[in-house]
Structure 1
Amino acid sequence: MNHHLSRVLVCLLLLIGTSYSHAAEEMKEWNFLVYINGVNNLDSFGAQNINQMEEVGSSDKMNILVQWGSAKNPNVTRLLVKKDSDKKNVTSPVVQNLGGADMGDWKELVRFVEWSNQNYPAKHYFIVVWDHGSGWHIAKANNTGTHIQDISWDDRTGNYMTTEQLAQAMSESAKIIGHKVDIYASDACLMGMVEVASEMQTAVQYYVGSQDVEPGAGWPYNTFLSKWSSQIDSLSAKQVATLLSKDYAAAYNGGIYGKRPVTMSAYDMSYISAYEQAFKKVGQELSNLNAADIAKANRAASATKYFTNWDYRDSLDFLTQLEKNGVTAGSFADLRAAQNNFVMSNDQTQDQKTWGVSVWLPTSSSDYDTYAQRYEGLKFHQNSGWGSFLKRLIKK
């Protein structure tokens, strides 16, 4: 292809994108918005997942819209996913070309939601951020050469979305669509954390994330969308979030991705305030322990199931380990009950059972000191005081 022709095509794509801004489609039931940041070493999986979406395609009830950043393409594009039979090539029409848009900029995610709302209005919104993820803070050690910080790292720009910015994007999105985002989910590693969910509690109704790392292939978009589309008139947002969690685990439990140890959870954000208060009671009781019992609590924390980062640990396994070390408190039962309400679906294929929610639980001064100041600014700490207990646990 010569340079003149390629420029002509770019101009045509831009014109196509512009034309859609003047002709909004009819209101549909759902917008499934997937923000694919493949400007990194996950790029090939982005194309794979879009091809899976094309096995189902948009319908008269749902728009499947993708903003796609690819390491192989200098231009970020927006696609209206259409059904096709080609499993190797992405054939869905590019409805807007964004040039060199920064996929690590949280405002770019907001612009995607705003554009979708203007041109493809829908009653309900399921927003997905697809990329590497590292929970609420940067991965301290990574020997692959891949940058992982919070979520949506753009290798071209070096930019990324902090946990706080991701929440801000959801807050702005809720204002745009006129109600809470029905479902927010991360197709990314380590995002099944109370700290991340807590940041967006005023903007999101249901939250889906994985405690553990995700394999590169990520979600089974074909099987999930097929099941959802076939029941779209009868499934509530809560049921859709639960369906995703269960279908993801099934895909790695002998399903389309074979056998791999994975986790996925769906949270009902209407219960997060009560969940935070239950954490507050546990933290207060543990903070009042004597020095000998605090030492036991530290040993219990070190024995608690962790996910990649030593300081990301399973919330309820911590209680179990405390009890094994002879530390008990009346608040433990309240936290277990609160988590049972908060976690709608806890799905996994791991040998060691996990309980669906990770929490920051550093067991060394270095881990604590690195992030303590930022942690104090998170809503979860502000509502639960959890960081105050952690300071007592570490400093003894």
Structure 2
Amino acid sequence: MTNHLSRVLVCLLLLIGTSFAHAAEPMKEWNFLVFINGVNNLDSFGAQNINQMEEVGSSDKMNILVQWGSAKNPNVQRLLVKKDNDKKKVTSPVVQNLGGADMGDWKELVRFVDWANQNYPAKHYFIVVWDHGNGWHLTSVNNNGTHIQDISWDDRTGNYMTTEQLAQAMAESAKIIGHKVDIYASDACLMGMIEVASEMQDSVSYYVGSQDVEPGAGWPYNTFLTKWAAQVDSLNSAQVAALLSKDYTASYNGGINGKRPVTMSAYDLSKIGAYEAAFAQVGSDLNKLSASDIAKAKMAAGNTKFFTNWDYRDALDFLTQLEKGGITASSFAALRSAQNSFVLSNDQTQDQKTWGVSVWLPSDDSDYSQYAERYQGLRFHKNSDWGSFLKTLNKK
């Protein structure tokens, strides 16, 4: 009996000790959460990027946590990224196996954030969605037969996250962590758009995305995380967002990813209200143009720098093209000033020459009519009435 009671007491003490040890764990400064949807033809780059993360690994200041869906593995896994010296093999421990979780479901992203918050608490959150991206609207199939619809296409389930659902995921994430998501970023193509960023303005502080396509290798996680880790106590969220933007473009400007034309921008969403108001005034002024000047505006839109999709155009280049066609308004200067405040960092390789923000600018009725109804529901249109100008621009 005595031995039995002793064993019970020892077990109880161990349980109490474990409980106290867990409760006493200090909260870390940052959670870097990467939602890698490789259940498609980008799969090999997912392992490559995780190996880059393992060159740095989690620390006493930062958790690097990955939810990894792979075309080669039927089971979605959650990893706590640990430093290792093997650049070809992912060795970080699988801390949770999710079976056939749907990586195209926005609620799965929310569950990832909730799990991280419960098990690896941190003061600040940097959330990344990694996969194909296509800005605010869908394209059914590209030339290679690959589905690209909004973001995070899962080839197994056929599911993906719409722009609106991605915003829902950030809103739920903000509720979970008790404050705005410090940084949201897309390691995906064509996500540097005002329409996407606007949806998140109530739940995210800083937004990072590329106007142009991203090469398959994506971000240079090793160099970025190395620089961030070295300054983790001194960099604020705005500086981390800008660091990513600059390090990404440097990696393709003769850095570790060679030489490729790329763009990346970081936005301060606390300044988006003034930016949308400036867009509203530009749209209102353009809506008052004569029929002949509308024709000139349509030509200017067609001459504006675009990114893959004909209707994704650089916002400030549109103003430049309007001015070249003889159309001016005092609201143009206000929009340029508002964008300077809104864009925290606009980075690009030398051959790009962009201003950092794309906007929907269809100059063909078939492009406009395909998405016009959905556009009416977007936050950016509701705040700026931009869709009204687009309707005028695309009248038959």
Is this a same-fold pair by TM over 0.5? yes
Q: How does 1:292-331 map to 2 (within 5 A)?
A: 292-331=292-331
Unaligned segments of structure 2, at least 5 residues: 1-17
Q: Give the CA deviation at 1:70.
A: 0.1
Question: Deviation string for 1:19-73 (max 9, x for gaps)?
Answer: 99x9575310000000000000000000000000000000000000000000000
Aligned partners of 1:142, 1:71: CA distance in 2, in Å?
Answer: 19
Aligned partners of 1:142, 1:66: CA distance in 2, in Å?
Answer: 28
SS of equivalent residue, structure 2 residue 77: strand
SS of equivalent residue, structure 1 residue 134: strand
Aligned partner of 2:54 in structure 1 is 54
Identity of aligned residues (%): 81
Aligned partner of 1:392 in structure 2 is 392
Aligned partner of 1:333 in structure 2 is 333
Aligned partner of 1:124 in structure 2 is 124
Aligned partners of 1:264, 1:116: CA distance in 2, in Å?
Answer: 27
Runs of 4+ in structure 1 deviating by more than 2 angstroms, as ranges, are 22-26
Q: How does 1:241-280 map to 2 (within 5 A)?
A: 241-280=241-280
SS of equivalent residue, structure 2 residue 34: strand
Q: Which amino acid aligns with 2:251?
A: A
Aligned partner of 2:133 in structure 1 is 133
Question: Deviation string for 1:100-153 (max 9, x for gaps)?
Answer: 000000000000000000000000000000000000001266110100000000
Aligned partner of 2:346 in structure 1 is 346
In the alignment, is residue 93 of structure 1 matched against residue 93 of structure 2?
yes
SS of equivalent residue, structure 2 residue 138: coil
Aligned partners of 2:142, 2:244: CA distance in 1, in Å?
Answer: 29
Aligned partners of 2:50, 2:140: CA distance in 1, in Å?
Answer: 31
Aligned partner of 1:201 in structure 2 is 201
SS of equivalent residue, structure 1 residue 135: strand
Q: Which amino acid aligns with 2:340?
A: N
Please say if residues 128 and 186 of structure 2, whose CA atoms lie closer than 8 Å, have aligned partners that are also in contact.
yes
- Scaled by the length of structure 2, the TM-score of the pair is 0.94
Aligned partner of 2:284 in structure 1 is 284
Q: How does 1:59-208 map to 2 (within 5 A)?
A: 59-139=59-139, 142-208=142-208
RMSD: 1.3
Q: Give the CA deviation at 1:352.
A: 3.9
Aligned length: 377
Aligned partners of 1:233, 1:26: CA distance in 2, in Å?
Answer: 15
Q: Give the CA deviation at 1:368.
A: 0.3
- Scaled by the length of structure 1, the TM-score of the pair is 0.94
Please say if residues 306 and 313 of structure 2, whose CA atoms lie closer than 8 Å, have aligned partners that are also in contact.
yes
Q: Which amino acid aligns with 1:389?
A: F
Q: Give the CA deviation at 1:351.
A: 1.6
SS of equivalent residue, structure 2 residue 135: coil
Aligned partners of 2:352, 2:329: CA distance in 1, in Å?
Answer: 25
Aligned partner of 2:12 in structure 1 is none
Please say if residues 190 and 209 of structure 2, whose CA atoms lie closer than 8 Å, have aligned partners that are also in contact.
yes
Question: Deviation string for 1:268-318 (max 9, x for gaps)?
Answer: 000001100000000000000000000000000000000000000000000
SS of equivalent residue, structure 2 residue 96: strand
SS of equivalent residue, structure 1 residue 297: helix
Aligned partners of 1:276, 1:333: CA distance in 2, in Å?
Answer: 14
SS of equivalent residue, structure 1 residue 138: strand
Q: How does 1:226-237 map to 2 (within 5 A)?
A: 226-237=226-237
Aligned partners of 1:206, 1:97: CA distance in 2, in Å?
Answer: 31
